[in-house]
Amino acid sequence: MDNASARPPNSAPAFMVYCPRCATPLVTRPVSDKLRRVCPACGYIHFTDPKVGVGVLVVHEGRVLLVRRAVRPEIGKWSIPAGFLDQGEDPQVTAVREAQEETGLQVTIDHLLDVYYTPPSGSGGASVFILYRATLVGGQLRPGDDADEAGFFRLDNLPELAFASTRDAIRRLGGNA
């Protein structure tokens, strides 16, 4: 992915008005190499951490597991089962949980497929996405959480896909399903 034209992320967002520690109004000033929101009273520095998503690519009997998104961004399009990683969570555990929540299926992680970077767009999606290859081990297929449909699809008969990471993962599967 060519990120040369991507606008740089805002390291001093205006929505950070007050210090979360002492409630003093924040100011913008240089910290190391970037402008940041800083508290002049207690020294708190607001760092804009990336949103990290995790997901699983499951291929079973030559078909790939996809879910139709019931929420923004990309509502109504199909993607691999995925969700956000919370602070302190193991990415593999989260990916397995998200697959179960969105599809009703139990999977086990086989290996890391790739890590994707998506420049911030304001859409609320992940800027870092960790993708694992996983194997189906049980459960009953049913949509849940933020998916309103789930199913297995042949690579030559896919619905409209959401997200560059989903499209890339499916493209790379090629004949390796």
Cα-based distances in Å from 153 to 49, 118, 121: 35, 25, 29
Catalytic residue among 74, 89, 101, 149: 149
Section 70-84 average pLDDT: 93
More confident residue, 74 or 137: 137
Looking at residue 2, what is its pLDDT?
40
Looking at residue 119, what is its pLDDT?
75
**Do 166 and 77 touch, CB atoms closer than 8 A?**
no
Section 168-176 average pLDDT: 81
Section 115-139 average pLDDT: 85
Q: What is the reported pTM?
A: 0.80
Fold adopted by 52-173:
Nucleoside Triphosphate Pyrophosphohydrolase (3.90.79)
Q: Which residues are registered as beta bridge partners of 67?
A: 79, 150
Q: Is 98 a catalytic residue?
A: no
Looking at residue 59, what is its pLDDT?
96
Query: Domain limits of the chain?
Result: 7-48, 52-173
